A and B are shown apart, each in its own frame.
Chain A
Amino acid sequence: MLAPLISCKRSMMDIRLDGIGHSYDDFEVMRDISLDISSGQIVCIVGPSGCGKSTLLRFIGGLERPKLGRVLQLGEPPAGCLNPLTYIFQDFALLPWRSVSGNISLVLEDHGIKGAAADKIIEDVLARTKLSDFAKALPKQLSGGMKQRVAIARALAVKPAVMLMDEPLSALDSQTRELLMDDLVELWTRQPFTAVYVTHNLAEAVRLGHRVVVLSRRPGKIREVVDIDKPLAAREFGDADLEKTQKYLWQLMRDEARAADAELLHG
């Protein structure tokens, strides 16, 4: 009886990508991607457009199936975790007909969490995302940044083991993006979470990533993995060392990004 208790307490869930490859018909989009995502880390995936980074994220969360390779879940998700692999989408994906709190209760209802228990969770996640005053608002009343914070609150409500973030800030203007990056850093500092963060924005990658994975152009392969040791909370807008890393990442990608841009769209 002791063993499960201990594993519950120290539960860690890692994700391992094992030789992921994918193709549409004869068109190879991804080749042999192996990567470990260890818990408590934010792993950023960057790459030129069309390298399949969003597709990779859909593989990790089981929304799509790769032709080759496996996505493995190592260890057990923490106790109380309702949805181990939880997405945050670029376009927020809020139900426009539900209020802010309704959108959060949507993901709790299916787990049988209703009434006071749900209210408690909703109150907690809204407080953590600074949305407490907007519980009754409809999505149409919110700005883009607020909508994404609602989506983050919704993700927090199911206590995910790993957050899968698909260009979460790309639909926002640059000022809102800075603010939300600060919010994310604050969230992580208070309670470290695991995340896979897909972006094409290198500034986001160096601000939020403990590791930055650079993918190459089609077929997407891992080009390089860059670790950034500086603690998240110590990173700031325009840090010289981060700029250096960002420049380095851009050099890795530059030629491929140009080639990707010049390519005719497939299909």
Chain B
Amino acid sequence: MDETGTSVAFRGGGFAPKSRRWVGVVVFVALVLFVEWGTRAGWISSLSLPRPSDVFETFRQLYDSGLLFKHLGPSLSRLTVGAILGASVGISVGILIGLFSYVRSGLVPLVAAIFPIPKIALLPLFVIWFGIGEGSKYALIAFGTFTPTVVATYGAVDNVDRTLIRMGQSFGLSWWSIVRKIVLPGAMPGILSGLRISLAIAIILLVAAEMLGAEYGIGAYILEAGSLYDLERLFAGVVILSLLGVLVSGVIGMAERRLLGWRT
């Protein structure tokens, strides 16, 4: 027999991506530097993409003139009010659908019918209903956040471990206690991952909401820049929206770490 033998070839591993903190930043910076280089060297024409340094300069001017916060303020308040309205109604309705047969049978088809409607198409309707002021903007964002939240929430309630609910009943917990202490926390992972999507949709709809009758707001700023083909300003606005998205996602990530530390 051969004493040395051959070692068994390793064939496990992989299929388990881990998050590497700074790689995302590096990719982003590399992309920006690449575009900067291209626009300076001239093989990207200034008509097709603005120079990143120019966008940054526009952004700085926006900040210096104080206009940034003049635009950001109303947008943030529209986003907050609309999203909180839509998400809270959505979570409540989703839980009701998850708990009651009649609510489920009655509302699931309705939600399925509302979901695919592009909410932007309903903007004129909202203007008639809620006026050209803030009301229609809140309504549009709220409505857009509502449907994905409902779907995510009732799915999450469906996925709550039934044995935990039976356990609650077997210890004589009241209906309300079971909902509050077992169903809600059990559905929380699904609700939060649903919120990630609905809040991103809320940011998308912010621009749509500011199409009509908005003097200030990030959306109004972008739309104005777009109609003037002012690419630097357009990109400055888009960057703000992106940052907003990253911020929202970060906040939800924090909430997940705080609320869902119990997950294995």
Interface residues of A (CB under 8 A from B): 61, 63, 82-83, 85-87, 89, 91, 93, 95-98, 106-107, 109-110, 138-140, 154, 158
Closest Cβ of chain A to B254, distance in Å, is 17
B contact patch SS: helix
A-contacting 9-mer, from B50-58, B164-172, B208-216, B223-231:
B164-172
Contact B163 A89 (CB under 8 A): yes
A89-B163, A138-B262 as given contacts; A97 in contact with B170, CB under 8 Å:
no
> In the complex the two chains form, is B171's CB within 8 Å of A95's CB?
no
A93: chain B residues within 8 A (beta carbon): 163-164, 166-167
Contacting residues, chain A, for B264 (C-beta < 8 A): 96, 140
CB pair B263–A110 under 8 Å, yes or no, is no
Chain A residues within 8 Å of B164, by CB: 93, 95
Which residue in A82, A89, A95, A140 is a CB contact (below 8 Å) of B185? A95
Total of A-B residue pairs, C-beta within 8 Å: 54
Whether B171 contacts A83 by the Cβ 8 Å rule is yes
Q: How far is the CB of A170 from chain B (nearest CB, A)?
A: 14
B170 touches A87 (CB 8 A): yes
B13 to chain A, nearest CB (A): 25
Chain A residue numbers with a CB within 8 Å of B171 are 83, 86, 106-107, 110, 154, 158
A160 to chain B, nearest CB (A): 10
Assess whether B181 is interfacial by the CB under 8 Å rule. Answer: yes
CB distance from A20 to the nearest CB of B (A): 19
Which residue of chain B is the closest to A151 with respect to CB atoms?
B167
Q: B174 within 8 Å of A by Cβ?
A: yes
Is the pair A106, B181 in contact by a Cβ cutoff of 8 Å?
Answer: yes
**Best-surrounded residue of A83, A85, A96, A138 (most CB of chain B within 10 A):** A96
Q: Let me know if A91 and B166 touch, CB within 8 A.
A: no
Cβ-based interface call for B45 (8 A): no
From B166, B173, B174, B263, contact of A96 by CB (8 A): B263
The verdict on B159 contacting chain A, using a C-beta distance below 8 Å, is: no
* Chain A residue at minimal CB-CB distance from B173: A110
Chain A residues near B163: list those with CB within 8 A.
Answer: 89, 91, 93
Kindly report which residue of chain A lies nearest to residue B188, judged by CB atoms: A97
Is B177 within 8 A of A63, CB to CB?
Answer: no
Given contacts A61-B170, A97-B262, A138-B261, 16 further A-B contacts (CB under 8 A): A85-B170, A86-B170, A86-B171, A87-B167, A93-B163, A93-B164, A96-B263, A97-B185, A97-B260, A98-B262, A106-B181, A110-B171, A110-B173, A140-B262, A154-B171, A158-B171
Bound Cα distance from A221 to B262, whole angstroms = 43
